[in-house]
Each structure stands twice: as structure tokens, then as C-alpha cells.
Amino acid sequence: MSIIDSVKGAPDLLPPVSSGFNAIESAMLTTALTYGYERIRTPVFEHTEVFARGVGASTDIVNKEMYTFEDKGGRSLTLRPEGTAGIMRAALSAGIPRGGVLPWKVSWVGEVFRYERPQSGRQRSFTQMDVEALGTTDPAIDAEMIILGWDALRNAAATAGKTFDESNLEVRLNTLGDRADRPAYHAALNAYLDQFETQGKLPKDVLERRHLNPLRAFDSKAEGMAEIMANAPVIKDHISEAATEHHRQVVALLDAEGIPVIHDDHLVRGLDYYTRTTFEYQATNLGAQSAVGGGGRFDGLAEDLGWNEPFQGIGLALGVDRTYLSIYGVSPGDPNPGLARTPRVDVFGIPMAPHHGPRVFHLITALRRAGIRAEMGESTRKPRALFKSADRAGAQFAIIIGDDEMMNDEVTVKHLATGEQHTCPQDVAVLGSIVRTSD
Ligand code: HAM
């Protein structure tokens, strides 16, 4: 019988890759906490309707990438393909628009699922760090969000001793105006696209999507589309005075903080809920899958989910896997020669013979309970093999018990790097002070 492999596009992250990955993830989350975004946890699945209505009918996510299933009660559920719609749903369910402290600022990190064609930087199960500010129209929050993402990515790179800066990380910014601005703009864009459709120059993906959302024509990677879209009308020339002023204020705040923003009139992003500010972070060493994160305003999302008054918001998500790929140059599912194993424990217990095992076990248990990372070797193995295990575990000290130590109620403490050793009482306080002073 053969073993069962992992599901395609859903890699396992094993140590030490998992520690490198966790370090990136926690650097990102810590950045969000620093900016005042509390951690939230919402279920990994939602009613399918949340994403169908929230993310939008014209998106690839809703059309072909959702993991949707019927549960035993006959409900249609979907594994989250992104976080924003579920967080907005949670806020509305809890009545946050009426009773919450606004803006409601939350963040989380976790697995997200999309049925995409797996390739470098594109998986079916991947991890996002997501940040959302709900109940705000303040342009300062837009600027805060963009700087937060930039800082989070820079802090993530620092966990590997690397740097993200203007030379290898781009922040692209656009405004999509308000929903009320769309009909006039769609008309202008459609009129422009019509001439190419008549000439038979529009590719299949654009023909399919343009009637649902012509903006997606900017996203098409089909041959010839970049040339066609180069002269297309851009949305920023078709938005209201209020949306233009909002954008002006966001840009001014970012400029004042020295954030190296690239203005990109063609940035539209692949989710339908965006309004006004939209942005994306691109790592220049990643090729086709270069977006390490993105976000924007979603001022109409609450209404799409059934809320009957405006409840605006803005957020971002960073792709932890892609950030890792950009930083280390290998996918998180692959072995990473650039990542050394980090020490697992500080103390390793070595019984000289099987009958010394229980005493070592007792001491190791006491050390762990005192908060010292400790582990014990199998008492049936030879001490020589156990010293090797101690090295592999990254321990600084071995504590050794043999017949002499048993008789004198002592333990031998060996500093593994220097080979220095001495005996001391079998006392956790004494052992603890030896370990802690060597830090
Ligand atoms: P998104 O651009 O779809 O935005 O995803 C954010 C990031 O997740 C991407 O920039 C990328 O790094 C990563 N990502 C997306 N798909 C994959 C994949 N198949 N494999 C690996 N990484 C991937 C959102 O999800 C929005 N909810 C962001 C947001 C939050 N907007 C407002 N608030």
C-alpha cells in the first residue's frame, strides 16, 4: 500500500522552514499590533453567499476558485478564499456599526484556499496576514494602512537578515473612485473596448468578463492587451471631486512620510469590492507572481452583505508564502539551505544507563516546568549517541546522571561548546541559574 501524499498545491511546511515562516508571520502581525490592530479570529468557512456577494460575481475567485461544499445539514459552505468579506460579515453580525468603537481595527493571520493552477508563488492553500479598519472614511487610515503593509514587509525581511526597500519592493497606488462614478466610466471604457471587439482583437477572457466588470480588462495578461489598454481611458479621470480630494490627501500623507509610492492608473485588483484607494506591493525578484500583498477601500461591501446603511472600510492582505519566497528565493514547501535549524532546547538530559532514566526524567520535567527548554535522550541508547542528539537539538548544556551522581545526589553539567563540566546538586534552582546566566 502506498502512502497518501499531500493535496496538490497544499504544501507541508516542516522545520526549519516552519520557523522561518513563523518568524515572517509574527513580524507582520506584530507590526499590525503596533499600529493598533487587535487580533481577531473568524471561522475558516462561511456561508458561500458571503463570498459570492462580497467578493463579486465577475471575479476568478468566485467563478472558479472557491472550495465550496455542502455540509451534512445541506448548507452551502466555502473555505475562505480571502478574509475581508468574512470579517465584514463578523462585524455586521456583532452589530459593530452601531455599538462598536470605530474605526474597528482588527488583524489576523491564517490559511486561505483558492483552487488555482499551482506554480511558483501560487498555491491552493496559502497563508495571509490580513488587516482591516472598518467604519472609517478618513484618508489618514488609508495612508496608515499602506505604511503598515510596507513596514510589515520590511520587518518580515529583517527576520532573515534581508532588506526590503525601494530597490526591490514597489508600492503601486491607484484610486477607483466611488461606485457612483462607475457607470459613466464603464460607459467610456466600454466604448473604447467596443472598437477592438469589432476588430476581433479582444481575447476570450476580456470578452467574457467585460460585461460584468470592464475594469478587469486592465488585468488581462493575454497577448496584445497591454498595447490595447495603454491608451484606454483611466478611472482617475472619471471620478468625483470628493474621491479626487480623498486621493490627494492620501498621497500627501504618504509623500510626507517618504513612502516611495508608484502611481499606477492601471492597477485594478482582482476583487470586486474595491472603491477609492487601491494598492499593491510587488517584490521585483518574483517574476509573474510578483504581488506580495495588496488592499484597498471597500466602501460598498457592507451593503453588498445586506447592511442597509453605509459602513465603509479599508484593509490589506500580505501573502506570507510569497513574502517568504521573495526573501529566501525558495518556496516554503521546498527545503531551504539558507535556513539553519534553530536550537530546539537549551538543556539535554543524558542517563548513563537505563536505570538512571527516571532521575533524569524527573530533573528534565522540573526544568521544563520552570520555563527552561529541556529534553531528554532515550535511556536505552548509549551516552555517545545521546551526546550527538544533544548537539542536534542545539542544546547548550548536557546534564548527565550516572552511578556516582546517583550516589551523591548530584548531576554533572557539561557546557557542550567548551566541553567544561562540573557537578552540582540535583536542584532546579541551581541548574536554572547556570542555564540562564549563560544566555
Ligand atoms: P489578494 O490580492 O487577492 O487580496 O491577496 C493578497 C495576497 O495574497 C496577494 O498579494 C498574494 O501575495 C497572496 N496570494 C493570493 N493568491 C495566492 C496564491 N494562490 N498562492 C499564494 N499566495 C497568494 C485579498 O485577498 C484581499 N482580501 C486583501 C484585502 C484586505 N483588501 C482589503 N482588505
Query: Mind listing the pLDDT tens digit for each residue in 320-344?
Result: 999 999 999 999 999 999 898 889 9
d(CA 360, CA 362): 5
Sign of CA dihedral 81, 42, 9, 336: positive
pLDDT in tens, 254-266: 999 999 999 999 9
* Ligand 1 center from residue 82 Cα (angstroms): 7
What's the whole-number mean pLDDT along residues 406-430?
Answer: 95
Inform me whether the pLDDT recorded for 272 exceeds 70: yes
Percent of the chain with pLDDT over 90: 91
Instruction: Supply the pLDDT for residue 58.
Output: 78
* Ligand 1 center from residue 76 Cα (angstroms): 23
d(CA 70, CA 263): 43
Backbone angles phi, psi at 199, to 5 degrees: -80, 5
Inform me whether the pLDDT recorded for 400 exceeds 90: yes
Instruction: Supply the pLDDT for residue 208.
Output: 86
d(CA 434, CA 194): 78
* Ligand 1 center from residue 319 Cα (angstroms): 6
pLDDT in tens, 280-296: 999 999 988 899 999 99
Atom number of ligand 1 nearest to Cα 114: 19
Residues in contact with ligand 1 (CB, 6 Å cut-off): 82-84, 114, 116, 122-123, 126, 128, 130, 132, 270-271, 291-296, 298, 315-317, 319, 321-322
Among 322, 323, 324, 325, which residue has the most ligand 1 atoms within 8 Å of its CB, making it the best to mutate?
322
Which residue puts its alpha carbon closest to atom 25 of ligand 1?
Answer: 82
Among 79, 271, 279, 280, which residue has the most ligand 1 atoms within 8 Å of its CB, making it the best to mutate?
271
Whether pTM > 0.75 for this model: the answer is yes
Residue carrying the nine cell digits 457612483: 180
Instruction: Supply the pLDDT for residue 93.
Output: 97
Inform me whether the pLDDT recorded for 438 exceeds 80: no
pLDDT in tens, 55-101: 998 788 998 999 999 999 999 999 999 999 999 999 999 999 999 89
Q: Of 240, 245, 37, 276, which Cα lies nearest the Cα of 142?
A: 276
pLDDT in tens, 101-126: 999 999 999 999 999 999 999 999 99
Reduced to 3 states, what is the DSSP secondary structure of residue 87?
A: helix
Element (H, E) at 422: strand 421-425
* Ligand 1 center from residue 5 Cα (angstroms): 26
pLDDT in tens, 22-47: 999 999 999 999 999 999 999 999 99
A 10 A CB-CB count for 319 gives 24
Atom number of ligand 1 nearest to Cα 317: 28
Instruction: Supply the pLDDT for residue 130.
Output: 98
d(CA 334, CA 171): 28
The C-alpha cell at 164 is: 526590503
The pLDDT confidence band at residue 300, using thresholds 50, 70 and 90, is very high
Task: Give me the chain's average pLDDT, please.
Answer: 95
Atom number of ligand 1 nearest to Cα 81: 25
Domains with residue ranges and CATH for the chain: 17-178+239-328 (3.30.930.10), 347-438 (3.40.50.800)
What's the whole-number mean pLDDT along residues 201-224?
Answer: 90
Instruction: Supply the pLDDT for residue 439.
Output: 67
A 10 A CB-CB count for 173 gives 22
Which residue puts its alpha carbon closest to atom 10 of ligand 1?
Answer: 293
The pLDDT confidence band at residue 186, using thresholds 50, 70 and 90, is very high
* Ligand 1 center from residue 289 Cα (angstroms): 11
Instruction: Supply the pLDDT for residue 388.
Output: 97
Instruction: Supply the pLDDT for residue 340.
Output: 85
DSSP E strands in 115-238: the ranges are: 125-134, 169-175
